[in-house]
Amino acid sequence: MDQLLANIKIQVNEKIYVKDPESTTLGRKIIKHSLIIMDEIGFDNFTFKKLGERIGSNESSIYRYFENKHKLLVYFSSWYWSWIEYKMVFATANIAAPLDQLLKALELVTEKIEDDLNTPYLNEALLNKIIIAEFTKTFLTKEVDEENKEGFFLIYKRVISRMVGMVVMIDPEYPFPKSLISSIVEGALHQHFLKDHFKTITDCNENTSPTAYYTDLIQRILSPKS
Amino acid sequence: MDQLLANIKIQVNEKIYVKDPESTTLGRKIIKHSLIIMDEIGFDNFTFKKLGERIGSNESSIYRYFENKHKLLVYFSSWYWSWIEYKMVFATANIAAPLDQLLKALELVTEKIEDDLNTPYLNEALLNKIIIAEFTKTFLTKEVDEENKEGFFLIYKRVISRMVGMVVMIDPEYPFPKSLISSIVEGALHQHFLKDHFKTITDCNENTSPTAYYTDLIQRILSPKS
DNA sequence: TATTTATGATAGTAATACTATTACATTTGC
DNA sequence: GCAAATGTAATAGTATTACTATCATAAATA
């Protein structure tokens, strides 16, 4: 798995960037340090000027890669879900039982991520933190419908659809497979946020993970009727 | 219920505003037209200058009521959850069975809201739309911990805690009551968003509401073990 | 070696997000 | 009825943001 990841390139919709940041040194520097700065000061306070200062590059050079910081965030989320999808396909490929497939997939979308050392310019653990804190901002905009048409959220929706397929195999009678999965994928990010900031309204903490909560939930909802 | 609402004033933490907008004509105009403009152009594109132009008032006059637009959004969300809490307390007061209480409360937090005519300067249906589109932005900020300490999110957390109490009464053995409710309250807003923008990953539409999905979910999870 | 490509440096604009000051109008308290 | 307090408008000004444009130069490549 780790080695496989070293040999593939995560695909991101070309309309998201002006110039592929993975193709040059400066591009990879932009990716790497954007994540670090966004983690430090948050997406809202992040600017291309600050990034330029940090990497010793000109603001205008950064605009050659991304139109604006919104697109950069969309790039990160697209990369993230593409990476999750890749891991999901491989991790579930040789599992026969749909319920076991689903539990494996669930683990991937709900767990806390650790850095994958195959991509030195992109720290996945940091990316996961950014996704938890900022992902909803990619689509909670007035431009969401246009950007959706452009395919900016395709991979995210495909990850959900894969899991929906598993649910349908497990229980074809269950009436809300799509809402179940979309609320789990979004909800897992939210539970991670809550355990760090609003501890009083979550059961998740160092000992109990969002994975545990959702694994239990899935089993209660989809367990075969007796 | 409707008459009761006419006679009470929704309480909002005083630290959120500079001057209580419900106390003056200009303040109420700010509330009313902010909602309209935010609905039209979204929170991100909303500015106090645009609001000032719309209501024929000076930008600086608006700053006498709210420090910045973030605080205005926090005000709206605080008002919203306070209003939901009020309705919840009354609607569940004379229900004996905890499960029925919970289902009633669930309905309140998941349904689409219609305007309550007792507050002419605040259109609740519009407020509900703003909350669906913008609520998460109130806490997905770098300042969330400080603002949480100031009590900006108290009412939201209290609404969740009330429902958690009901879950505990229904099934004291259930291990994740807080995560269940916090994910439902957040998730319901998300499902409303999905049915308007990402239809392929939700089962909710004109015929099936988020309320239906979550009512079914609650019953599957908390139904007495046979 | 010529030429494309990438980056850097500089400059500039319009909008945003405020703050401060002053003048005046209106309400309210006594 | 008058003084004091409060509310609003107008104006000005600042720092930052979010870009765009141009030109020079360095590096890669054909």
How far away is chain A from the Cα of B160, in angstroms, using its nearest Cα?
Answer: 7
How far away is chain A from the Cα of B25, in angstroms, using its nearest Cα?
Answer: 30
A201·B141 Cβ contact <8 A: no
Q: Which two tokens stand for residue A10?
A: 């995560």
Band of residue B7 on the pLDDT scale cut at 50, 70, 90: low
| Nucleotide with smallest C1' distance to residue A29 CA | C7
Q: Is the pLDDT of residue B226 over 50?
A: no
Q: Is the pLDDT of residue B11 over 90?
A: no
First to last CA, chain A: 38
User: In this complex, is the C-beta atom of A223 within 8 Å of any C-beta atom belonging to chain B?
Assistant: no
Q: Is the pLDDT of residue A8 over 70?
A: no
Question: Is there a contact between A196 and A128 (Cβ–Cβ < 8 Å)?
Answer: no
pLDDT at A112: 87
Cα B216 to Cα A37, A174, A175, B108, B163, distances in angstroms = 43, 10, 9, 15, 16
Mean per-residue pLDDT for A95-109? Answer: 96
CA A183 centroid distance within chain: 14
Partners of B140 on chain A (C-beta within 8 Å) are: 133-134, 136-137, 193
pLDDT, tens digit, for every residue of A46-89? 999 999 989 888 888 999 999 999 999 999 999 999 999 999 99
Give the mean pLDDT of chain B.
91
Q: Is the pLDDT of residue A211 over 60?
A: yes
CA B127 centroid distance within chain: 8
| Nucleotide with smallest C1' distance to residue A69 CA | D18
Q: Which residues contact A99 (CB under 8 A, 6 or more apart)?
A: A166, A170, A222
Q: Provide the residue type at A46 as one letter.
A: F
* Chain A to chain B Cβ contacts (< 8 Å): 132
Mean per-residue pLDDT for B70-77? Answer: 94
Residues 94-113 in A contacting B (C-alpha not used; CB under 8 Å): none
pLDDT at B94: 92
Give the mean pLDDT of chain A.
91
pLDDT at A5: 56
pLDDT at A113: 87
Band of residue A226 on the pLDDT scale cut at 50, 70, 90: very low
Give the distance, in angstroms, between residue B56 CA and nucleotide D10 C1'.
Answer: 13
Q: Is the pLDDT of residue A205 over 90?
A: yes
B176·A148 Cβ contact <8 A: no
Q: Provide the residue type at A169 as one letter.
A: M
Mean per-residue pLDDT for A186-209? Answer: 97
